[in-house]
Structure 1
């Protein structure tokens, strides 16, 4: 029968040391009496209440010797701060190492918080956001959701889904030329076709115009304030006109306030949906054979409606508008508005949720490494304060007073580190903005949300860095401390300190290994054989695909000896925006459904992009009327045809069974998508009405600067002669394709930076511990040198203590890094393997860095004069 432990602990910590023993004896006698009279349960309650009553005078005391956990007077706080300042100034070297480690850790955590907070705040301002969904196409076989859908899906949602309160189709068009008739100025821009339903779906602030009718009529447009001022120099633009791609003028009927920077709908130019018929008369708004990612449908579900109520209608809708086969292979997918920013969206900029989670973990780990430095160095140098602790406890100071003292010191270092981290983050913010393309400003650094985060981080870091040293040091017995003037160096203390070093280097090794593997994957991306040429190909958007215009442009371009070939097409051999089409191949009575990517190009398409033909003949420009196609090897595999020559002459059908074309050639596989995805079954055909891009192949893959400047001038001149009223813009294909791997490139750079910081912080800790060890073992080193020990032997002796934890960290970090990177590599269809040499290299780097860090102090101690060492106190 024992009294409650918490009450005894309170009495030990906060009671008068001179009377605690006597009081405890009296209370124990009372406790035994209560147990026999009222039972053990009530006895425990009475014992606890008696302890609280005894401690009440101390809780009301303002004495610095017996502080209450609930009451700290200003005099006490001043005393703690004064003592903490003296102690920090006396141990300036260790304090500086602690400060630098915490500054780096806090800066890393702060910048990562700004990035993650920004990326996870997209579209949160939308008042109906919890009911808004994007209608996508889910391929059951590939288990992949396409953000785009059939253009006929909008009417299907209106007619067949009663749960949809609003249906909003959006069609995005890029690379259009806007001219202002009143001034003659021209601008290159992207636009979105939308209806008035958009203003009921999303939150907009109107400066002028009527949201109910603004986009009801053809040839009307709504602008944002910023775009209106760019075009006309003022936001008072109602009734003014602008001309889009030299087609009928559009009248401005509304002006919107600029959208927030955390939106997935950054639309400056909104054209009425009825204008599609006048500006693009060939565009089918009720198409069910294929889709484009730039046509997306959003719905607002009625209140208390679950998305499953819509998706369960997939089979019925696809059977009604397509056929039963399509219903078996596809499904309707609804993506919540909150998740749109983490994938392809019309805003163009997306975030990777896995990367954000990785960044958050990195921030926690780097900060943890800094806190571990503080714990290790504070406990390591505590022997210098053993006498101070013993004297204070001997004259009556209780344990809680000492805990407050050590937490105050930790708080002062953390507070200084927090202020410095704000300065460093402010200086580094432009670099982060350039690296990630995130619109962060200094205002974000000093926002209320950031201040709250820093306050919480300050408290958490103070507790993490200070609470163990505070309890460890305050628990020293005063007689033992005064007698020995050092901390007890039992086995447990050494094990804990080494364990913390293991944690530091485990994190560092995981980051080093991850950086090496990510760079290997990026190198693979850069050097992979895509099955076509990417070097020295310039792509230019086509504003007009009439045969006469295209022939004129080809003739003008061919006048330069630097131009090797020119092809007009829907897009490049590999592109993000793809045309997906349901196809069939019939083998007897059996029909094989093949989800196919269509590539539309002229007779120069294969030669310009260097696509190899395995069998049959190439395309001719006249094939646009004879329905001939070239298939890739993947398409043949889906057909069940083994040899390319056997596919020549075979017919291909639309998904609904209508005859489509005849295969006249077979092309070797090439990556029609990025290396994230597998190669789709692909057909190449000649469709001049869908030529929206020119691919210009230069004579040499690496032209010098002068030659490149000359050929670009020639291309621009040819362009202006063909399209004099359009703005000329170009891009290099290899640079465009490299953008598909921006997320991975940024991941590499961010993890590489975090790795560098983690190693620096860990090395600071090792440096401090090595200095402490060398100082503590000064006499031992002197004795060893007198007895004949060599400098190298002493260096090895002192270094071995710190290299063992690094080797243990390698054993722990290797499987963790392997698992993490194996999961990351699952994002790619084409990827590198994980080999043992990566872990060997990471471990070798860590051991080398640790040895160089420790050996500096070890060599310095080994070279010390043994006479001075033996004379030291």
Structure 2
């Protein structure tokens, strides 16, 4: 019987091949999008699940507040891990990651010297590869990081320095001191792993004196700490909650001496309204559920994108199912006679329902096969848009193929269920008399067309808003000059030659100015907290304030054209070693109406007082997602800080940029023959900061185009069917003198009216959706009214073209042939 169902379904497919093709194309696109989004979602959900005991591993985060500034970060002080293990039996072990500054790695082989700047170097505890089980191609995870002179590298680094030679046991030289390190392990290719933390090189943390130096500190937040809990603590939410409830009491004991040492008694710190709490975050939640948690080493996505694209994929599949349903019900009059005869000959309604569902399954199975081929073809393009490296073969792994099978069955059911039950409900006498009304099916088809275009228009408006917000972030005045700005990295490697090198560059004909600083926009800053004072009493006048900062020379402000609101910038004619320039946000938060001459005290080091000599207008450090925070510029002559990082930033005149870079590189080699010359353009760095938003916009654009195509495909089929049904009417109208334009209007107006209704329904939905999305940006656009106009014109235009193609074809047909059709 089942074989017979499918045989009849195949005959009907061949008989109605035009409408079958439209249905199959729509279902193919719907299922293809579903598969793409499905493997994308699976890729996102798989992060960190390859680690052994990943369900028991947690990252230690810190939630802090100083004055009016609060933060939540995936960092901890160095002693946090040991303190948790020592104080709580629920914590079995810990491991830590420290990211040092970029440095030079060198190898000496028979092929010559190979020397590069490496940025993805992580310093880790000896148990790191036992704790986080990154797969090793060579080496023992228990021993490869035990010795201080050991180093573990990726296959890419191995080939970079040693070619095809086995790197095990070879020597790499690290840093300006050329510390010899023996290769004791080679990792598998990490680019193929879904890990939130990826790197090129691992070194033992004991090589870095700053970590050991700050092992007393509970305010030096430069370590990422992971802990492994007992199985019971990890699985029982009550045990985990009870564990976290004990952390504040531990901090009072553990952090007290550290806060006392920096002049901030912990109890007083808390009484001032501040807090310093630690929390545990499941390893498997880090990638998608980190929200506002700051981390420079973790690849953190957003669970909201999973929901958004999952919903979009579902709706595109529904659009394809709507096409099938519309075309099936449109042909109700044809199929009703068939059903009536079958019923008269003894067919039961259940048999007929199974027949229609078999047709839907046949269409969907064919579409699913084509969808897999479509995915194979489009996947490279999809990867380039999404920034992924998803393999086509992932469809056949991790149970994806089972989900695909379920998706196919669900699609067939959604597409076929209404036609099956609706068409088999007619009484045979009514059908054979030819008195079946098309009112019910017409109302349903109109409703489904509106539904299709509501989805398409919402996506068009959303895409316009996303791209407009991206353009706004790129064009907004950031408070400094970002055009024609070149950043030279690693200038700390020039040692005492930094200033001479800067002066030589500044003297070049097409260089306007050049400045040296420990940080630059998008490249990070250092932060600490301070106590505002009054010049009269040297007593605190406000709560502690947290400041992000750079150490800069006297050329920084003029080079980047930062506006000074009050006072002055740094000047070589003055001794500014204990001076500070703050931004307007810092002055406002402290409450100073006239900040010039006021002081802030640094409660660490030698408890220095810094006098405010200037206030600059607020400028954005990196992203527009967050509001402008208090910021300070300290002079490079200050002895209170040593960040170990330096950049030279220069403003140049547009022209032969390649020649300028070549000239600067030659000058670099006069000062530093070992460290490679590296640079970037500030504009490029700022654009890179919004890579995820651009990927989101690109995916939105692709899915929007597909949704419009699917919607118009169904509309095309319906217009063709309508024209076919009204062939005789059109012929009579033409004989009676109707023009082509009139016939086109006759066939088009009802469909275009439905698109207008869809625009009215879609507009408030799109506004609510995008208004919610824009809340993630501290500096955002207002949703532009013209987005709705453009979406409406686009939808009407595409629908008009779609409808007109068939309408004109019908209107131009020979009326004599039209009248002979019946």
- Common topology (TM > 0.5): yes
**For residue 28 of structure 1, what is the aligned residue in structure 2?**
none
> Structure 1: how far apart are the matches of 2:316 and 2:322?
10
Task: Find 1:301's aligned residue among 224, 229, 235.
Answer: 229
Whole-Å separation in 2 of the counterparts to 1:448 and 1:158: 35
Aligned residue number for residue 649 of structure 2: 696
Q: Answer yes or no: is the 8 Å Cα contact 2:526–2:548 preserved in 1.
A: yes
Which of 589, 595, 604 aligns to 2:546? It is: 595
Q: 1:357-406 deviations in whole A, cap 9, x for unaligned?
A: 21111111111111100110111123223332222222222223222322
Go from structure 1 to structure 2 and tell me whether the alpha carbon gap of 1:581 and 1:827 turns closer, same or farther (over 3 Å shift): same
Shift, 1:490, TM fit: 4.4
3-state secondary structure, aligned to 1:429: helix
Q: Distance in 2 between matches of 1:547 and 1:612?
A: 31
Q: Select 2:577's aligned residue among 626, 644, 660.
A: 626
C-alpha contact 1:632 1:683 (8 A) present in aligned 2: yes
TM-score for the superposition, normalised by structure 1: 0.84
What SS does structure 2 have at the residue aligned with 1:196? Answer: coil
C-alpha distance in 1, partners of 2:268/2:805?
72
Task: Note the 1:421-436 alignment, pairs <5 A.
Answer: 421-436=371-386
- CA distance in structure 1 between the partners assigned to 2:246 and 2:510 by the alignment: 57
| Root mean square deviation of aligned Cα | 2.7
Structure with max Cα Rg: 1
Q: Secondary structure at the match of 2:311?
A: helix
Distance 1:97 1:854, change over 3 A: same
Q: How does 1:215-364 map to 2 (within 5 A)?
A: 215-225=145-155, 227-233=157-163, 237-247=167-177, 248-259=179-190, 261-277=193-209, 284-292=214-222, 295-305=223-233, 306-308=239-241, 309-310=243-244, 312-314=246-248, 317=251, 320=256, 321-322=258-259, 323-324=266-267, 326-327=269-270, 328-330=273-275, 331-342=277-288, 343=290, 345=295, 347=297, 349-364=299-314
- Give the Cα separation in 2 of the matches to 1:868 and 1:258: 68
Deviations along 1:224-276, one digit per CA (max 9) or x if unpaired, are 45544543346854443211123221223344444451112323321111100
CA 1:720–1:311 in 2, change beyond 3 Å: closer, same or farther?
A: farther
Show the counterpart of 1:191.
121
User: Is contact 2:522-2:689 (8 Å) kept?
Assistant: no
Q: Deviations over 1:513-563 (max 9, x none)?
A: 101111111111111000011112122221635652212422442453222
Tell me: CA distance 1:401–1:368, structure 2 relative to 1, closer, same or farther (3 Å): same
Shift of 1:838: 2.2
Alpha carbons of structure 1 residues 142 and 480: separation in structure 2 relative to 1, 3 Å: farther
Contact 2:532-2:540 within 8 A present in 1 as well:
no
Residues 824 and 101 of structure 1, relative CA distance in 2, 3 Å threshold = same
CA distance in 1, matches of 2:777, 2:268: 29
- Whole-Å separation in 1 of the counterparts to 2:483 and 2:215: 37
**TM-superposition CA deviations, 1:335-377 (whole Å, max 9, x none):** 2211222355555543222122211111111111111001101
Residues in 1 aligned to 2:174 and 2:24: alpha-carbon distance in whole angstroms = 59
Find out whether 1:149 has 2:76 as its counterpart: yes
Alignment equivalent of 1:420, drawn from 343, 363, 370: 370
The equivalent of 1:131 in structure 2 is 56
Work out whether 1:465 is the aligned partner of 2:410.
no
- Judged with a 3 Å threshold, the aligned counterparts in structure 2 of structure 1 residues 432 and 678 are, in CA distance, closer, same or farther, namely same
1:483 deviation in Å? 2.7
Taking CA–CA contacts closer than 8 Å with sequence separation of 6 or more, which of the two structures ends up with the larger relative contact order?
A: 2
Separation in 1 of the partners of 2:185 and 2:366? Answer: 52
Aligned equivalent of 1:170? 97
Gaps of at least 5 residues in structure 1 are 1-75
Q: Does the CA contact (< 8 Å) of 2:502 and 2:648 recur in 1? A: no
Which consecutive unaligned segments of at least 5 residues does structure 2 have? Answer: 234-238, 260-265
Which of 350, 357, 375 is the aligned partner of 1:400?
350
CA drift of 1:791 comes to 4.0
> Counterpart of 2:727?
778
Q: Does residue 754 in structure 1 map to residue 703 in structure 2?
A: yes
Offset of residue 159 of structure 1: 5.2
**8 A Cα contact 2:137 2:187, kept in partner:** yes
- After superposition, the Cα gap between the structure-2 partners of 1:796 and 1:237, relative to the gap in structure 1 and judged at 3 Å, is closer
Deviations 1:404-455 (A, max 9, x none): 3222222222222212221221111111222222121232244353322321
CA spacing shift, 1:658–1:381, aligned 2, 3 Å: same
> Hey, what's the Cα distance between the residues in 2 that align with 1:166 and 1:660?
42
Structure 1 position 557 matched with structure 2 position 472: no
Cα distance in 2 between the residues matched to 1:346 and 1:747: 21
After TM superposition, give the deviation of residue 713 of structure 1 in Å: 0.9
Quote the offset at 1:297 in angstroms. 1.8
Distance 1:492 1:396 in 2: 26
For the 8 Å contact 1:291–1:579, the answer to whether it is kept is no
Match of 2:38 in 1: 113
How far does the alpha carbon of each residue in 1:125-173 deviate from its partner, in whole angstroms, 9 at most, with x for none? 2232222222223245666422233345445445555543223221113
CA distance in 2, matches of 1:235, 1:338: 37
Q: Distance between the aligned counterparts of 2:333 and 2:213, measured in 1?
A: 81
**SS, match of residue 844 in structure 1:** helix
CA distance in 2, matches of 1:655, 1:437: 44
Which residues of 2 match residues 656-671 of structure 1 at below 5 A? 658-671=607-620
Aligned partner of residue 830 in structure 1, secondary structure: coil
Please give the TM-score of this superposition, normalised by the length of structure 2: 0.89
**Count of residue pairs brought into register by the alignment:** 784
